[in-house]
């Protein structure tokens, strides 16, 4: 399996990960033979080879619009929405260790010619991994810049051969109440398991990533281990975590937040500063880390800064109606 780093020469030096974080990452790579990376099937040699830059034909940020430095690892892994473990931002980091991620199986079915399963070892050994630096924007108006490790969702879907009738892709998160305290809460409002969906052309777009790691490390449980979706031009709730099931469908699937609050969380969920959340503006975002005294606010970019790459998917659509 070839491992590649997703490079982008347009990113300014001020936006690059601090040297101390990078050196810690290299130290992890060198010493990772006895860590969770190896236990999950991502070998030391495989991780180490990801440090060798390779020029790729598809760039995430060709116009150089990526703003701000990469978010520190500690912020990315301690400030999370993962309601299966609680509604507070710190709950996932405190409680997600209870989720077992090995063994892990992803079922792929629906309107595909070759339905089947992938085990975690199949994922780690069967797909070329890349490191991609993406913006991540939450509908709650906070944002990050995260270096993910993963592979295009399209390569996974092609393996199962979606049929001509397929128009959408449905995803489901793990549901184990014994390991996910948030699903047992009497205040829980979500109908578990958590569900999300994309249009098939969105799912097949080159930017749509299945992530297995971040910052050169295997994906922490609180960030959606062992396998999550990353759709950088959409609000973060579309980037479903800890995926166990993928189905190609003819009809638009019901998604968890759209089912719960359809006036607040539309199916498309494209980052659009012109369409406010009913309870707050989306024109600005708070880039993490931030504080009361240093709010670190910035204007929100249409499609989270990926308009040039993805706007064609929505040509002719009213993005206020299909929000």
pLDDT of residue 242: 98
Tell me the pLDDT of the chain averaged across its residues.
Answer: 85
Give the Cα separation of 59 and 8 in Å (integer). 6
Residue 218: enclosing H or E segment and its boundaries? strand 217-218
Q: Is 221 within 8 Å of 212 (Cβ atoms)?
A: no
Task: Answer whether residue 186 is part of any domain.
Answer: yes
Strands 195-199 and 168-173: antiparallel
Tell me what the mean pLDDT of segment 255-283 comes to: 96
- 55-83 pLDDT per residue, tens: 333 445 544 445 347 999 999 999 999 99
Residue 167 predicted with pLDDT over 60 = yes
Any domain includes 55: no
Query: What would the pLDDT profile of 105-153 be if each residue is shown by its tens digit?
Result: 999 999 999 999 999 999 999 999 999 999 999 999 999 999 999 999 9
Residue 10 has pLDDT above 80, yes or no: no
- Alpha carbon distance 139, 237 (integer Å): 8
Task: Reduce the DSSP state of residue 3 to 3 states and report it.
Answer: strand
197 part of a folded domain: yes
Number of domains in the chain: 1
Residue 93 has pLDDT above 50, yes or no: yes
Higher pLDDT among residues 16 and 148, named by residue:
148
pLDDT for 156 beyond 90: yes
Q: In this structure, is residue 49 part of a structural domain?
A: no
Q: pTM surpassing 0.95?
A: no
The closest alpha carbon to 58, from 248, 209, 242, belongs to 209
**Structural domain contains residue 305:** yes
The residues, ordered by sequence, that sit 6+ positions from 294 with a Cβ below 8 Å of its Cβ are: none
Domain assignment present for residue 210? The answer is yes
Say what the pLDDT of residue 69 is.
75
The answer as to whether 214 is a domain residue is yes
Domain membership of residue 249 as a residue range: 74-314
pLDDT value of residue 186: 87
For 36-52, b/e burial (b = at least 16 CB within 10 A) is: bbeebbbbbebbebbee
Per-residue model confidence (pLDDT) at position 268: 98
93-97, 133-137, 184-188, 244-248: least confident range: 184-188
User: 213 Cβ partners below 8 Å, 6+ apart?
Assistant: 37, 42, 129, 148, 149, 150, 219
Q: What is the mean pLDDT of residues 262-284?
A: 97
Return the percentage of the chain with pLDDT > 90, whole number: 76
| Per-residue confidence (pLDDT) for residue 66, from 0 to 100 | 53
- For the stretch 26-40, pLDDT in tens is 443 333 333 333 333
Cα–Cα distance, 317 to 323 (Å, whole number): 10
Q: Which CATH number goes with the domain that contains 152?
A: 3.90.420.10
Q: Rounded to 5, what percent of the chain is helix, strand, coil? A: 30, 25, 45
Distance between CA 66 and CA 304 in Å, rounded? 10
Contact assessment for residue 286 and residue 141, using Cβ atoms and an 8 Å cutoff: yes
Strand partners, 143: 137, 287
- If you average pLDDT over residues 253-264, what whole number do you get? 96
CA distance 228 to 273: 26
Q: Is the model's pLDDT at 13 over the cut of 50?
A: no
For residue 322, being part of any structural domain is answered with no
List phi, psi (to 5°) of 255: -110, 155
């Amino acid at each position: 399996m070839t491992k590649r780093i997703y490079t982008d020469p347009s990113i300014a030096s001020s936006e690059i990960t601090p040297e101390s974080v990078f050196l810690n990452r290299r130290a992890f790579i060198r010493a990772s033979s006895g860590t969770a990376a190896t236990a999950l099937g991502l070998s030391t040699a495989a991780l180490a080879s990801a440090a060798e830059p390779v020029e790729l034909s598809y760039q995430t940020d060709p116009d150089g619009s990526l703003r701000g430095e990469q978010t520190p690892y500690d912020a990315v892994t301690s400030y999370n929405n993962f309601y299966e473990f609680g509604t507070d931002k710190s709950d996932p980091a405190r409680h997600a260790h209870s989720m077992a991620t090995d063994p892990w199986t992803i079922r792929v079915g629906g309107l595909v010619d070759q339905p089947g399963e992938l085990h975690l070892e199949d994922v780690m050994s069967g797909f070329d991994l890349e490191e991609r630096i993406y913006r991540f924007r939450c509908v709650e108006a906070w944002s990050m810049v995260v270096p993910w490790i993963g592979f295009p969702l399209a390569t996974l879907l092609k393996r199962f051969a979606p049929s001509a009738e397929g128009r959408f892709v449905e995803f489901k998160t793990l549901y184990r109440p014994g390991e996910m305290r948030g699903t047992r809460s009497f205040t829980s409002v979500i109908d578990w398991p958590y569900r999300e969906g994309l249009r098939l052309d969105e799912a097949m777009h080159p930017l749509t990533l299945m992530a297995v790691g971040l910052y050169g490390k295997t994906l922490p449980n609180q960030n959606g281990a062992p396998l999550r979706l990353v759709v950088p031009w959409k609000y973060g709730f579309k980037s479903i975590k800890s995926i166990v099931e993928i189905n190609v469908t003819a009809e638009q699937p019901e998604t968890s937040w759209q089912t719960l609050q359809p006036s607040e969380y539309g199916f498309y969920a494209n980052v659009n500063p012109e369409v406010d959340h009913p309870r707050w503006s989306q024109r600005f975002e708070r880039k993490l880390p931030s504080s009361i005294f240093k709010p670190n606010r910035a204007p929100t970019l249409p499609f989270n800064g990926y308009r040039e790459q993805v706007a064609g998917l929505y040509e002719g659509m009213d993005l206020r109606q299909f929000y």
